[in-house]
């Protein structure tokens, strides 16, 4: 019953993103609509045939650590082989290194489809993509030859090794060391934690991208360097040599995402561990941050895909399950109605639709900004795009993580008791999605990133860029009779948001602790404004399409979901701004000993 809504994907990619945004750069000239649809056809087929069928099983029988190795359901490897054979590991990378130069927008749609089907198995290529991205951007040609090429081919997988048992949110405090050896390479010692895909026997090799400190460097985040640490040393000509000194210390047993191994790794404990410096010394964290936007958008996409899967399952169930009668038709002899007839079930479905399709619009928009930042030759346009992307990234990561999790909660509720059992996938999707507010920067960290950094930088240029884009769409919506009310509502919210932000920026100069105390509330508030914008845009396009020969049901649904978001969700932002406006110090004022 997990179904990819291709009508909506078409709408999101081809109506919401003008051609120029989708594939307007020469690099992407192969990706016209026909080619994009063909890619997604292939993705959907592989996802449904190879990824979906074992999703429930790997959740129930998670990978185990036995005899120093990881045992995973063989179907995971089979699915990844099909993914590799389709050339999808090369999505986005340069042709020079074997890639297919797929636009980030299209790669996002591909990601979305595989995550819907089986987020656990999809984890391996996504991590590989992130690791390979770092090498593509900052590695030497030799490193690209040795590691990037086999990753693009899907023969080597990758991981990101940032966190440690005692340093998660605070990377400044990592203790993993990298000491220069006589051969010009480094010896890595330390422990890493929460490493997704940290070990497995599926790929020929694993390329760990490791953050470590070179002794004598600056303290804190400015003394962090980035290293390639392969599981097996490469001995030239693509030949695999001995095991490197990175060892699996144990697997974490999680409540979800159970198909993706998550490991504690020891570096250089029994066997010396060789690491190869990427780029320059002490620049590791800045490299990571330059790839962080994509990684964080990827988390938001995963969260959205999980909610999309739950939405489809609960929608199908609601159409078929008879139960109860309308409040004005209680005659017990009358037949029962399908539960989709009940207002509260429609609310639960509308909330899911609003979260899924609102988030998806934002994520594809952000992906199009990633493409523009990479390809745009005009430095002013590029800079403006980058500023906007920087601002939107914490929202693109967090809003879906919070509200698409809520959508998964609603999917269970639609199914009632059945939803609480393993007979349906909705409980698993809910467990999976609970990870997303935690990894790649917790919800709280995203709030601090947004309010304490992104909003403040360049004199508020990010918010200015956002406001410009929103107002252009407000004007367009204003011309449509049924949407002008929503348009002016969004304009008011935007104006108030800017005023609130100014207050916070002023306050931060004096008392950053007080100004940032409600940063998470700011994150959720601005997120709602941004998603409202995405819905207004969708409704505007739908209203225009309704006048033509478009799918009337589909377009009416878009307008109704927009209305839902504006009536049920957006007003919450005003309540949140009241709290922010008065620099509410309730949480700061609560003393630890009072708990």
- Residues with a catalytic annotation lie at 440
What would the x/- binding string for its own copies be over residues 211 to 240, using CB under 8 A?
--------xxxx------------------
- Total residues contacting its own copies by CB under 8 A comes to 103
Which residue of 50, 107, 192, 439 would you call a contact of its own copies, by CB under 8 A? 439
Cβ-based nearer residue to its own copies, 416 or 495: 416
Burial of 405 from C-beta contacts in 10 A (0-12 / 13-18 / 19+) = buried
What are the CA-CA distances from residue 306 to residues 214, 360, 402 (Å)? 40, 12, 12
Q: Which is nearest to 240 in space by CA: 229, 231, 227, 252?
A: 231
Place of tokens 């995203």: 446
**Residue 423 sits in the site that holds its own copies (CB under 8 A):** yes
Cβ-based nearer residue to its own copies, 319 or 381: 319
What are the CA-CA distances from residue 407 to residues 181, 304, 353, 404, 441 (Å)? 52, 9, 8, 5, 21
- What is the token pair recorded at 20? 């120029």
Using CB under 8 A as the binding rule, the residues of this chain from 537 to 566 that contact its own copies are 553-554, 556-557, 560, 563-564
Which residue of 119, 315, 363, 543 would you call a contact of its own copies, by CB under 8 A? 315
Cβ-based nearer residue to its own copies, 172 or 472: 172
Which residue of 107, 342, 454, 493 would you call a contact of its own copies, by CB under 8 A? 342
Cβ-based nearer residue to its own copies, 290 or 574: 574
Shortest Å, Cβ 434 to its own copies? 7
Candidate ranges 295-303, 430-438, 489-497, 525-533; the one touching its own copies (CB under 8 A): 430-438
What would the x/- binding string for its own copies be over residues 64 to 93, using CB under 8 A?
------------------------------
**Residue 442 sits in the site that holds its own copies (CB under 8 A):** yes
Cβ-based nearer residue to its own copies, 144 or 258: 258
| Helix or strand (DSSP H, E) at 227 | strand 224-230
- Give the number of C-alpha atoms closer than 13 A to the C-alpha of residue 480, restricted to the C-beta side: 21
Length of the chain in residues, anyone? 595
Residue 401: phi and psi, rounded to 5, are -60, -35
Candidate ranges 270-278, 291-299, 464-472, 568-576; the one touching its own copies (CB under 8 A): 568-576
Cβ-based nearer residue to its own copies, 349 or 391: 349
Integer Cα distance of 47 and 570 in angstroms? 35
Using CB under 8 A as the binding rule, the residues of this chain from 452 to 511 that contact its own copies are 452, 511
**Residue 168 sits in the site that holds its own copies (CB under 8 A):** yes
Which residue of 67, 270, 328, 378 would you call a contact of its own copies, by CB under 8 A? 328
- Cβ–Cβ < 8 Å for 269, 258: no
* Residue 579 DSSP label: H
Across-strand partners of 207?
A: 158, 230
Shortest Å, Cβ 57 to its own copies? 13
What would the x/- binding string for its own copies be over residues 127 to 166, using CB under 8 A?
------------------------------------x--x
Shortest Å, Cβ 456 to its own copies? 11
Integer Cα distance of 299 and 321 in angstroms? 33
**Residue 420 sits in the site that holds its own copies (CB under 8 A):** yes
What would the x/- binding string for its own copies be over residues 510 to 529, using CB under 8 A?
-xxx--xxxxx---------
What are the CA-CA distances from residue 587 to residues 334, 399, 437, 518 (Å)? 54, 22, 20, 8
Which residue of 458, 484, 488, 567 would you call a contact of its own copies, by CB under 8 A? 567
- Cβ–Cβ < 8 Å for 335, 358: no
Q: Which is nearest to 533 in space by CA: 451, 463, 433, 448?
A: 463
What are the CA-CA distances from residue 129 to residues 47, 216, 488 (Å)? 18, 32, 41
**Residue 434 sits in the site that holds its own copies (CB under 8 A):** yes
**Residue 350 sits in the site that holds its own copies (CB under 8 A):** yes
């Amino acid at each position: 019953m997990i179904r990819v809504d291709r009508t909506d994907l078409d709408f999101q990619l081809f109506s919401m993103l003008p051609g120029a945004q989708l594939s307007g750069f020469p690099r992407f000239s192969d990706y016209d609509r026909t080619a994009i649809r063909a890619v997604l056809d292939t993705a959907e087929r592989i996802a449904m045939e190879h990824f979906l069928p074992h999703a429930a099983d790997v959740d129930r029988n998670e990978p185990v650590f036995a005899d120093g190795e990881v045992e995973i359901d063989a179907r995971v490897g089979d699915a990844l082989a099909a993914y590799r054979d389709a050339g999808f590991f090369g999505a986005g990378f340069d042709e020079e290194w074997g890639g297919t130069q797929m636009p980030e927008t299209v790669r996002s749609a591909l990601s979305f489809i595989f995550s819907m089907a089986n987020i656990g198995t999809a984890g391996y290529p996504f991590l590989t993509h992130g690791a390979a991205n770092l090498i593509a951007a900052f590695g030497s040609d030799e490193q690209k030859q040795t590691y990037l090429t086999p990753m693009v081919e899907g023969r080597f997988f990758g991981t990101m090794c940032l966190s440690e048992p005692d340093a998660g949110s605070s990377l400044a405090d990592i203790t993993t060391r990298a000491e220069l050896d006589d051969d010009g390479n480094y010896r890595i010692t330390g422990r890493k934690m929460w490493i997704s895909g940290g070990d497995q026997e599926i790929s020929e090799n694993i390329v760990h991208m490791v953050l470590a400190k070179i002794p004598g460097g600056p303290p804190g985040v400015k003394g962090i360097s980035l290293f390639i640490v392969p599981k097996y040393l490469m001995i030239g000509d693509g030949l695999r040599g001995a095991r490197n000194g990175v060892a699996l210390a144990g697997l974490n047993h999680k409540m979800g995402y159970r198909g993706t191994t998550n490991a504690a790794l020891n570096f250089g404990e029994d066997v010396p561990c060789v690491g190869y410096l990427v780029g320059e010394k002490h620049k590791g964290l800045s490299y990571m941050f330059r790839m962080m936007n994509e990684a964080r958008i990827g988390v938001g996409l995963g969260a959205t895909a999980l909610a999309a899967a739950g939405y489809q399952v609960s929608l199908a169930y609601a159409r078929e399950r008879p139960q109860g009668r309308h409040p004005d038709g209680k005659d017990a002899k009358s037949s029962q109605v399908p539960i989709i007839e009940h207002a509260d079930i429609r609310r639960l479905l509308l909330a899911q639709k609003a979260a899924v399709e609102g988030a998806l619009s934002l994520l594809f928009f952000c992906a199009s900004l990633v493409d523009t930042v990479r390809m745009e030759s005009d430095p002013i346009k590029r800079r403006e795009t980058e500023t906007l992307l920087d601002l939107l990234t914490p929202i693109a990561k967090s809003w879906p993580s919070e509200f698409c999790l809520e959508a998964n909660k609603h999917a269970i509720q639609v199914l009632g008791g059945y939803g609480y059992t393993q007979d349906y996938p909705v409980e698993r999707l809910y467990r999976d999605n609970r990870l997303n507010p935690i990894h790649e920067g917790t919800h709280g960290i995203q709030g601090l990133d947004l309010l304490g950094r992104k909003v403040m930088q360049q004199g508020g240029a990010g918010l200015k860029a956002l406001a410009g884009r929103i107002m252009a769409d407000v004007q367009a919506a204003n011309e449509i009779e049924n949407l002008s009310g929503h348009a002016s509502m969004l304009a008011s919210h935007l104006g108030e948001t800017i005023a609130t932000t100014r207050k916070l920026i002023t306050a931060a100069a004096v008392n950053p602790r007080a100004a940032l105390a409600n940063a998470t509330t700011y994150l959720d508030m601005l997120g709602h404004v941004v998603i409202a914008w995405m819905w207004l845009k969708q409704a505007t396009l739908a209203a225009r399409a309704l006048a033509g020969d478009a799918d009337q049901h589909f377009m009416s649904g878009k307008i109704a979901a927009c209305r839902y978001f504006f009536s049920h969700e957006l007003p919450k932002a005003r309540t949140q701004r009241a709290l922010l406006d008065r620099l509410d110090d309730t949480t700061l004022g609560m003393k630890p000993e009072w708990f």
